[in-house]
Structure 1
Amino acid sequence: MAGNDDDDVYTLFIGIGLLVVLLGGASSFLTWLAGQVSGVITGGGWPDSDPTDCIGIAFRLLTHPSDPHSAWPPAAAAALGSAPIFFFLLFVFLAVAAVGTYFLVRLFLNFRRRRTVRRFRLGYASGWEVRKLLSAQRVQSMAWQVRPSMHGRPPRSIPPEEVGFYLGRDIRSRRKLYASIEDMAIFISAPRQGKDVHFVTPFTIDAPGPVIVTSSRRETFINTAMIRAQYGEVYVFDPWNWTGWPNRMRWSPLQGCEDPNVCAVRSGTLVESSGFSIGREGGTVLSGVITIIRCLLHAGAIGRVNFREVMRWIYEANGEEALEILRQGEREGRTAPGYPGQLEFNMRNEALWSGVMQVMHAFSHPPVLEDCSPEPGEEFDFAKFLKGRNTLYFVAKRQPDWGGIAPVVTTILEQYFRSARGAAMKNPTGRLDPPLTFELNQVADVFVSGGLPTYMGESGGYSISVHVYLTSLAEARAKWGADRTAALLDNATMKIISGGAGTIKDISDLSDLVGKHDGKQILSPEELRTMRFGRAVVVAGTARPVEMWLTPWWKRKDKDSIERAKAQVEAMIQQMHAPPPPVTPPSPDDPPPPVRVTATVTVPPSDTETDTSAGPATGTGTAPATGKAPRSGAASGTGAGAGTPGDDDDGDDDSAIVW
């Protein structure tokens, strides 16, 4: 221990000695430089002295501080400036050197405190790899494959945005990075780290075909709706009217349920996404609940009833009407085999109806039920939607206090994933053109389907792009479990990771995902967590990781158009939520409004009438209250008055006048 202490003391003294030598040498040089510059300023020219004289000059100046000339060699002293100028320059040089040293030391300490230089670190993708796997040339070369309608056009003449999505710029090679339409991407970004401004908004605007966007907030809708409206139709599924958009998307759970396969998938999706708990009874209750929902949907579809009727059956826990529809359909050959018997057996169990109500609770909110109960001809036409550059937004929350309509959105998107694949298979090329894009923002809150990993693995071959946005791996594991989350990552050809908070395990897993070089992590967990806003790492296919600069939408070339469109949507929402104008109470000095009185009067014939065969006259009309009222008569009525015609002073025949 004593030996180590002595070594520390020796090291301290050596360090102090080196510091004194460095400071002394720097001060001596600045002293010499101040004298030389003073000669130039005063017109004496550059004194005949070189930097090797600085040590001797400094020592001589210490012995004669009042006479700088005596410190310089005689040949140079004559050209030296006056003492005040010399000392002023010396003070300035020393101050500048001190300030510069302070900032250099501070920069060095901050540099050590933050991280080592990554730009020249080995393990990242080379410029050649980037060009081969992530460049504009790569997505252009795939244009004929992913968009068959472009066959025959020179690939280099096709804008990369028509066959891919711009990601960012490689920090090292400075190349622009693109993802192909075929690439399935997962974005892992902590809250408030810019996934909306860097990815969701630009991808929605640039999508070359129809795009479906989900979110639990309306930020993306506000940024993109008016821009997308320039390209095609814009629809919104927003039962709570947070957006105020007039073109509402209306969908019925009965849509397509004439097909028993559709019924089976839809009932299973509703049960899974609702978070239904089966209790101690286990699979028996689960199977019974799914069977009842499946049969009710099938009955509603073949009976052509409104979905409100199906919900009424559920509220009343009574399936008799549905059973009769299924039996009638069975006689006509329209009901799936076995459905009437399955419904009749299960609907007798009252305990199953409580499970059915729990599953279908999302439809119990009046605004949701309204949008899910369209009349014939009002349903959203998905086949037509796929043919243009149209847009569909889902604004929803999973939490019950915000409506809890995630099961509804999940069921709709499940149908659209399957319908899109079916539409692609009907084409000779087996692809959708224009391609369909799913921007699944806040996916764990909105789209809680267990089939998402499968869709990620299959959709690329149909020219369907799926972009999934997560705040953390823990969020995905809580929603889909560890195995499905692993499958989700495996089926994503691109993983884009931004900085921000996270658990130690998640950050370590992501760091391992980025990879190692020579046994060391290319990007340590600490470096991942502290990555600055506007940067991300992309791990794509067989390429080594790429660190990239991101471009927010407000730095795009079309930022002015986006800002104008955004302002229009904000003004529309503000106008929708503006309070009604106040009602001004009437002033006592204001004249009373005119009053009109409606009366029905029966008038007997006059004694003076020559036509005695005429019966009593009856009429209905309006007359102002200020008109003449008859003075007497046998007529009865409601109004300002009643009387006998011919009884007034104006000489007119009033037998046809009615007050």
Structure 2
Amino acid sequence: MAGNDDDDVYTLFFGIGLLVALLGGAGSFLTWLAGQLSGVIAGGGWPDSDPTDCLRIAFRFVSHPSDPRSAWPPAAAAALGSAPVFFTLLIIFLTVTAVGTYFLVRLFLNVRRRRTVRRFRLGYASGWEVRKLLSARTVQNKAWQVRPSTQGQKVRTIKPEEVGFYLGRDIRSRRKLYASTEDMAIFISAPRQGKDVHFVTPFTIDAPGPVIVTSSRRETFVNTAMIRAQYGEVYVFDPWNWTGWPNRMRWSPLQGCADPNVCAVRSGTLVEASGFSIGREGGIVLSGVITIIRCLLHAGAIGGVNFREVMRWIYEANGEEALEILRQGEREGRTAPGYTGQLEFNMRDERLWSGVMQVMHAFSHPPVLEDCSPDPGEEFDFAKFLKGRNTLYFVAKRQPDWGGIAPVVTTILEQYFRSARGVAMKNPTGRLDPPLTFELNQVADVFVSGGLPTYMGESGGYSISVHVYLTSLAEARAKWGADRTAALLDNATMKIISGGAGTIKDISDLSDLVGKHDGQQILSPEELRTMRFGRAVVVAGTARPVEMWLTPWWKRKDREAIVRGKEAVEAMIRQMNAPAAPAVPPGAPPADPPPAAPPQDDPPPDAPPTDTRPTDTRPTDDPPARPSDTRPSDTRPSDDPSADQRATVRTATDERAADQRATARTATDERATDQRAAARTAGHERAADERVTARTAGHERAADERVTARTAADRRAADESADAGGTAPATSAADDDESIVW
């Protein structure tokens, strides 16, 4: 509030007291009037009472509401009608007064007398403006234009959700607010201020045609996937498999690149989305990088190779195969003019290959490369996607891991923007029907196209809705610069702003965007920053700003269906991440019980070996031992004790040799696996497999030879030891066991 705080408090209390007095006086008068008219209706005439008695009558009536006659003076009470007649008249009077007061208040709000209280403030759109520019009737009147298939239907029978999106409810007029499918909208909302629950999720569910959704989290997918699956096909571009959805979208950068125009756009998009610019790299380097990428994509498309082969060319910095394909295509008339010479000239510069590798690094992550290398017939059919109420989700990481995949998503969406416009231009009306919707959530992290302001300006005429979600204006300036950000705001027919944190400059700019009246800001920066959760301000077209209540998805009529679908998707994700139980083949015998624990007298298997050195026989000063102390430990007869020892030693030696061989092979396999993975990541898949296979075979042979030699030596040493000590008396069973273990 403006002005002195004490004055504002006094004004508030005075207003409350005045309101109570007015309501009390009006209620007292209506009570008196109902009693007077009840006497006339009952035939007793007009009771002997005047309006000055209304306060005393109302007080007595409240004290004894069951006996209205006791409230009137004795002279007038006899003329009153019955209690049912009195109460019927009182209810009618109160209802009429309440309805009349409601319309008077609405009229008062439309007039908008200037007050410090925001709801009564001058400068916001009136109820008449809302009805004319943002109501359900407004989007219904545009139905024949935005959806030609509705022509011939009565406008009032077309649901607003078929041709528009529900935004919220005006706080002042309480009218529902709608945006048409041809309206471009920008949503500026700080993190955790509800843009997903108030806009992205409801808009995705209500989209009347195909919808493409981008996000760095899977929240929107979890909330909407099952609902959208009831209307059409649901596809997911999710290289990291966060969603576990089986219907994956697979796309190849070579798609359509037989057309040189497509090659030019795609190579330029990849370079721009990777952060290359003339100011940093220079014009020569930048143009050379674009040229090499364009020629490689064109060669891969006309040569019919998989995208993996193109990536191999790039990481080997060798364009000879691509050059040969272009030459062959040139002889057959399939290569674009000049591409062969351009590639041959630029591929000699190693600096350009470094730039090409950096640009295409977004495809180096194996899951990304897998989704971008479909076999023939597995590519996503975008033309078929546009014909139904289908859904495509892009779930991408926000942090720059492996360079990030924003260039990949940006390139795909660039193609789909252009393809959608091409399909619309082939229709007689020049529009898509059903309309296409882009829900570009976290757009600065996923879709960093410099052409976004242009798409915002011209997509509405093709019945393509573009909804862009930003956390702040600073985020947009960092990605597109000040000029492109200004163009982005200018081309948006709707700007929706919610509360939250922000820089002083951004909040001041948004406050100025809302507008001023008589030199004063309609919504001050402080009021904009402290706006409560569930509220937003919409600045739409020529209408004055509207402050609205928002509806989260859990307050929608179909919330139960959304909750069921959400639980189903969460259960699918939990099942996907649950550890898999070991498979048991049918008819297999039950698992063997665990081995019994060894007796306490025996040493554990992994106990360190005891000292088995021969006893020292040098003379000492100690007295000789008693005969009972020197008796043999084992007096059982044996046919050939040296043979038993030899067999036992050989068994232990064989086990030790087997363990060494298995350990050597395991280490070799792990090294081979690491080398193969590194080689594949670098793009040298075939050469790496051959080298690693040869190395693996050599290591295995060398390991086997070393282990075999050691085994033979151990056996010979064991035989010699057993032959030499076969007649010696055994010391103890424990000592024999320890010697064998050693």
Same fold (TM over 0.5): yes
SS in 2 for 1:497: strand
TM-fit CA distance, 1:589: 8.0
- 1:349 — aligned with what? 349
Query: In 1, distance between residues paired with 2:581 and 2:392?
Result: 33
Retained in 1: the 8 A contact 2:364–2:402? no
Q: Deviations over 1:420-474 (max 9, x none)?
A: 0000000000000000000000000000000000000000000000000000000
Q: Which amino acid aligns with 1:139?
A: V
Q: For residue 390 of structure 2, what is the amino acid of its counterpart?
A: N
Residue of structure 2 equivalent to 1:275: 275
Structure 2 CA distance for partners of 1:507 and 1:318, relative to 1, 3 Å: same
Does residue 587 (structure 1) correspond to residue 618 (structure 2)? The answer is: no
Correspondence for 2:734: none
SS in 2 for 1:250: coil
Q: Supply the distance in 1 between the matched residues of 2:281 and 2:497 (Cα, whole angstroms).
A: 43
Give the whole-Å Cα distance in 2 for the aligned partners of 1:135 and 1:551: 16
Tell me, in whole angstroms, the C-alpha distance in 1 between the residues paired with 2:155 and 2:280: 61
Deviation, structure 1 residue 397: 2.5
Q: 1:585: Cα distance to partner? A: 6.9
- Asked if structure 1 preserves the Cα contact closer than 8 Å seen for 2:260 and 2:298, the reply is yes
Provide the rounded CA distance (Å) in 1 between the counterparts of 2:142 and 2:367.
45
Per-residue CA deviation, residues 362-409 of structure 1 (Å, 9 max, x unaligned), is: 000000000000000000000000000000000012532277111000
Corresponding residue for residue 427 of structure 1: 427
**Corresponding residue for 1:220?**
220
Higher alpha-carbon deviation: 423-432 or 273-282: 273-282
Matches within 5 A, 1:60-459: 116-276=116-276, 282-401=282-401, 404-459=404-459
Cα separation, 1, equivalents of 2:179 and 2:457: 16
CA-based RMSD of the aligned residues comes to 1.7
Following the alignment from structure 2 to structure 1, what is the Cα–Cα distance between the partners of residues 555 and 228? 19
How far apart in 2 are the matches of 1:589 and 1:571? 39
Contact 1:494 1:540 in 2 (8 A): yes
User: In the alignment, what sits opposite 1:34?
Assistant: none
The one-letter code of the counterpart of 2:189 is: S
Corresponding letter in the other structure for 1:357: M
**What is the match of residue 480 of structure 1?**
480
Give the match for residue 556 of structure 1.
556
**1:335-388 C-alpha deviation (Å, 9 max, x unpaired):** 100000000000011110000000000000000000000000000000000000
C-alpha separation between the residues in 2 aligned to 1:589 and 1:351? 64
- Separation in 2, partners of 1:212, 1:378: 19
- Counterpart residue number, 2:501: 501
**How many angstroms apart in 2 are the aligned matches of 1:578 and 1:540?**
48
The 1:470/1:284 distance shift into structure 2, 3 A limit, reads same
The whole-number CA distance in structure 2 between the counterparts of 1:512 and 1:259 is 47
Partner amino acid for 1:341?
G
Contact 1:397 / 1:403 at 8 angstroms: preserved in 2?
no
Letter in 2 for 1:508: S
SS at 1:168 equivalent = strand
State the alpha-carbon separation in 2 of the partners of residues 309 and 138 from structure 1.
54
Alignment partners' CA distance in 1, 2:278 and 2:593: 66
Check whether the contact 1:365–1:403 (CA below 8 A) recurs between aligned residues: no
Give me the whole-angstrom Cα distance separating, in 1, the residues matched to 2:430 and 2:231: 25
1:418 is displaced (CA, Å) by: 0.1
Query: How many angstroms apart in 2 are the aligned matches of 1:587 and 1:228?
Result: 51
User: The residue matched to 2:465 in structure 1 has which SS?
Assistant: strand
Residue 171 and residue 338 in structure 1: after superposition, are their counterparts in 2 closer, same or farther (change >3 A)? same
Secondary structure in 2 aligned to 1:466?
strand
The aligned residue for residue 73 of structure 2 is none
SS in 1 for 2:120: coil
Question: In 2, distance between residues paired with 1:352 and 1:571?
Answer: 48
Mapping of residues 526-537 of structure 1, within 5 Å: 526-537=526-537
Mapped contact 2:238–2:394 kept (Cα < 8 A): yes
Matched residue SS, 2:118: coil
Supply the distance in 2 between the matched residues of 1:219 and 1:253 (Cα, whole angstroms): 28
Which is richer in helix? 2
Counterpart in the other structure of 1:88 = none
What is the CA deviation profile of residues 109-148 of structure 1, one whole-angstrom value per residue up to 9, with x for unaligned ones?
xxxxxx9421111100000100011000000000000000
Partner of residue 546, structure 2: 546
**Match runs of 1:24-63 below 5 Å:** none
Matches of 2:282 and 2:575 in 1, distance apart? 51
Report the Cα distance in structure 1 between the residues aligned to 2:531 and 2:116, rounded to whole angstroms: 13
What does 1:504-653 align with in structure 2 at a 5 Å threshold?
504-581=504-581, 586-588=592-594
Looking at structure 2, the residues matched to 123 and 392 of structure 1 have their Cα atoms a distance apart, in angstroms, of: 41
Note the C-alpha offset of 1:234: 0.1
What letter matches 1:534 in structure 2?
G
Q: Secondary structure of the equivalent of 2:167? A: strand
CA distance in 2, matches of 1:502, 1:270: 32
Amino acid at match of 1:516: K
Q: 1:117 to 1:466 in 2, by over 3 A?
A: same
Say whether the 8 Å CA contact 2:361–2:402 is kept in structure 1.
Answer: no
Instruction: Determine the C-alpha separation between the residues in 2 that align with 1:213 and 1:366.
Output: 24
Letter paired with 1:390 = N
What amino acid is the match of 2:239?
Answer: P
CA distance in 2, matches of 1:267, 1:586: 61
Amino acid paired to 1:342: Q
1:530-572 CA distances to partner (integer Å, 9 max, x unpaired)?
0000000000000000000000000000000000000000000
Say whether the 8 Å CA contact 2:216–2:446 is kept in structure 1: yes
Residue 186 of structure 1 aligns to a residue whose secondary structure is strand
Taking the aligned partners of 2:280 and 2:144, their CA distance within structure 1 comes to 55
Please say if residues 365 and 402 of structure 2, whose CA atoms lie closer than 8 Å, have aligned partners that are also in contact: no
CA distance in 1, matches of 2:344, 2:420: 35
How far apart, CA to CA, are the structure 1 residues paired with 2:149 and 2:279? 53
Give distance in 1, aligned partners of 2:459 and 2:514: 25
- Over 3 Å counting, the alpha-carbon distance change for 1:234 and 1:537 in structure 2 is same
Q: Is the 8 A contact 2:140 2:158 kept in 1?
A: yes
CA apart distance, 1:280: 6.2
Q: Per the alignment, do residues 131 and 205 of structure 1 end up closer, same or farther by CA in structure 2, a change over 3 Å counting?
A: same
**1: CA distance, partners of 2:281 / 2:199:** 45
Instruction: Rate the CA distance shift 1:298–1:154 in 2: closer, same or farther, 3 A.
Output: same
Does structure 1 retain, via aligned residues, the 8 Å contact 2:149–2:433? yes
Q: Per-residue deviation at 1:578? A: 1.0
Percent of aligned positions with the same letter in both sequences? 91
SS in 2 for 1:392: strand
Q: 1:279/1:141 Cα in 2 relative to 1: closer, same or farther (>3 Å)?
A: closer
Q: Evaluate the alpha carbon distance shift between residue 190 and residue 442 of structure 1 in structure 2; reply closer, same or farther with a 3 A threshold.
A: same
- Alpha-carbon deviation of 1:579? 1.8
Cα distance change on mapping 1:478 and 1:280 into 2, 3 Å: closer
- Pairs aligned (count): 478
1:576-617 C-alpha deviation (Å, 9 max, x unpaired): 011223799731489xxxxxxxxxxxxxxxxxxxxxxxxxxx
Distance in 2 (CA, whole Å) between partners of 1:281 and 1:313 is 23
Amino acid at match of 2:262: V
d(CA) in 1 for partners of 2:320 and 2:205?
Answer: 50
* Contact 1:276 1:358 (C-alpha < 8 Å) held by counterparts: no
